[in-house]
Structure 1
Amino acid sequence: MTHSHSGGPTADVSVRVAWADDADAIAAVQVRAWPELYAGLLPAEAFPNDVEAVAAQWRQSLARPADARNRVLVALERNRVVGFALTCPAADPDCDPVADGELAEVTLDPAERAKGHGSRLLQAAVDTLAADRFSRAVTWVNAGDDALRTFLTEAGWAPDTAHRELDLDGTGATTVKQVRLHTAIA
């Protein structure tokens, strides 16, 4: 899945299943991206900034996933991780965990946006959900995240009327409204 672009240096871009060795790189992307994704919702000190601690959690989940259908995909530029996506069986009470898969997260390094990595990750995630025999995919989006919602809508996802409020700090003081989008998987 390598694409070259004429008229410039060849940039090798791809998406593959994550390896345990990717834990540090995934953690670094997450630590860089989260403060931007949740800016205005949580204070800076609420975000993990210890890449090593986050990486340790990733190493554990990559080595021993709780479910065989819990997948981690990484977007690469040459051999550098620039983003990741998580797919798994949908956990919502109104979802069917056999038919409904969830795109649990799509996170890009803030410095690597608008280069096509998100589209490649999304396509690979849907292909992965299809390979795991899900017939529908759902994902939760922060209600105020117009960029992500537009990106998904343009890729064929649509709201399915479900919505929820997440308690971000466990006290009820900081909540974020989310809407669920879904798409049929061919």
Structure 2
Amino acid sequence: MPTADVSARPAVPGDEEAIADIQLAAWRTTLGADAVADLPRDQIVAQWGSAIEAPPSREHRMFVATDGPHVVGFAALAQGEIIALEVAPEHRRYGHGSRLLAACVDTLRILGTSPVRTWAIEGDTVREAFLTSAGFAEGGIRRGMDGPGGEMAELMWRAEIGQ
């Protein structure tokens, strides 16, 4: 069956291995290799596999970006919030993140959900620039969380979805 060179599609069983590897690679880039070194890859694979095979509600969705037959990015959507959107570092700047974001927004539009929210680690200028270029703005909420070197902060970003 012929496939598009690049696309975004719903995640299917079997994608969880690539999703876990992409997530870990993205975290190495953002948080540093030491922060990721001891994370249990097998548990991450299992969690993503569960999210794909048995989402907790119809508002929970998983998408992957593909380049030919290869999964190169993913997004996770939960009740109006993009809880993860990552592209393998070597595949960034080719439109995969934008395709994943469009899949999330299209899904939320179909579900009648607005606004859309997501989070970015404070100081992640690359993600902030991506979100700004996609029409998101800071939402005025900051939350703390445990990170590899102590507490880190995330900022909420939001955008209204037009019909």
Extract unaligned runs of 5+ from structure 1: 1-10, 90-100
Letter aligned with residue 26 of structure 1: I
- Residue 14 of structure 2: SS of its match in structure 1? helix
> Aligned residue for 1:88?
78
1:28 corresponds to which of 21, 28, 44? 21
> Aligned residue for 1:67?
57
> Aligned residue for 1:138?
117
2:30 corresponds to which of 29, 34, 37? 37
1:129 deviates by 1.5
Contact 2:27 2:36 (C-alpha < 8 Å) held by counterparts: no
Letter aligned with residue 35 of structure 1: R
Normalized per residue, the structure richer in helix is 2
Contact 2:13 2:53 (C-alpha < 8 Å) held by counterparts: yes
Judged with a 3 Å threshold, the aligned counterparts in structure 2 of structure 1 residues 43 and 54 are, in CA distance, closer, same or farther, namely closer
Contact 1:35 1:47 (C-alpha < 8 Å) held by counterparts: no
Extract unaligned runs of 5+ from structure 2: none
1-side partners of 2:37 and 2:69: how far apart?
A: 31
1-side partners of 2:133 and 2:26: how far apart?
A: 22
Confirm or deny that 1:114 pairs with 2:96: no
2-side partners of 1:152 and 1:134: how far apart?
A: 18
- Residue 21 of structure 1: SS of its match in structure 2? coil
User: Any idea what the Cα deviations from partners look like across 1:119-159, whole Å, max 9, x if unmatched?
Assistant: 11111111112122202101111111011001101110001
> Aligned residue for 2:154?
178
Judged with a 3 Å threshold, the aligned counterparts in structure 2 of structure 1 residues 76 and 44 are, in CA distance, closer, same or farther, namely closer
How many residues in Structure 1 have an aligned counterpart in Structure 2? Answer: 159
2-side partners of 1:44 and 1:12: how far apart?
A: 31
Confirm or deny that 1:16 pairs with 2:14: no
Larger Rg: 1
Letter aligned with residue 155 of structure 2: V
> Aligned residue for 2:103?
124
Contact 1:34 1:47 (C-alpha < 8 Å) held by counterparts: no
User: Any idea what the Cα deviations from partners look like across 1:60-119, whole Å, max 9, x if unmatched?
Assistant: 221111122110010000111000011111xxxxxxxxxxx1011111101111111111
2-side partners of 1:21 and 1:161: how far apart?
A: 38
Q: Name segments (4+ residues, structure 1) moved above 6 Å.
A: none
Contact 2:51 2:62 (C-alpha < 8 Å) held by counterparts: no
2:39 corresponds to which of 31, 40, 47? 47
1:44 deviates by 4.3
> Aligned residue for 1:152?
131
Letter aligned with residue 103 of structure 1: I
